[in-house]
Amino acid sequence: MRCSQAAIMEASMKCQKNVDSVVVLDEEYMTPAFTRSQPYVLVADDDRDILAVIMLLLETEGYAGLGFADSRKVLPFLMQAEQGLEKDLRLPAVVLLDLMMPGISGYDIAAWLNMHPWGAHVPVIVMTADDRIHSASDIRGASDWLSKPFQIDVLLEKLERYLAPSRLP
């Protein structure tokens, strides 16, 4: 279940090579409240229906969000944010991450974040339908977890726990 160090390094090298050429922001998955300088939730889920529901939920609850259906765009985006390649772009306040995605898995993204001092402080809530996962400690870099299908009130409680100081007006 745990990702290998080699997989993390491979994902990191691919992203480093492509970070300047990858267009990562897709307006289709931004909440209206998303701005580059405000706290936001980064959501990565390859199931576009789940992603759309989560983004609508974030919007309804007054949170800013940025969603990715293509997991290969997440690490380049985070690198651009960290390196200041995008003007006024901040790192996310929370990452909501599906574990089972093609391209780069959620396991690899969570572990990659955990390896970087600037990313290790970003709370990562993982979402999975894998019944072998019973806690966040089962996933390197995870702060919390949700079992799919999840209850909306449980998701909101977890987001509130990590976003309370960053709540948008």
CA distances, 35 to each of 25, 58, 103 (Å): 12, 14, 27
Going by pLDDT thresholds of 50, 70 and 90, the confidence category of residue 142 is confident
Q: How far apart are the first and last CA of the chain?
A: 39
Helix, coil or strand: residue 153: helix
Q: What pLDDT is recorded for position 85?
A: 56
> Quick one: CA torsion of 110, 116, 117, 119, rounded to 10 degrees?
-40
Q: What is the mean pLDDT of the chain?
A: 79
- pLDDT tens-place string over residues 49-59: 999 999 999 99
How many residues does this entry show for the chain?
169
Q: What pLDDT is recorded for position 32?
A: 73
Q: Are 51 and 69 in contact (CB under 8 A)?
A: yes
List domains and CATH numbers for the chain: 5-20+27-127+140-166 (3.40.50.2300)
Burial code of 64-87, b = ≥16 C-beta within 10 A, e = fewer?
A: bbbbbbebbbbbbbbbbbbeeeee
Q: What pLDDT is recorded for position 6?
A: 54
Helix, coil or strand: residue 110: helix
- pLDDT tens-place string over residues 156-165: 999 999 987 6
* Exposure on the CB side of residue 129, measured as CA atoms within 13 A: 6
Helix, coil or strand: residue 9: helix
Mean pLDDT of 19-33: 53
Peptide bond into 149 cis (omega under 30): yes
Mean pLDDT of 7-30: 47
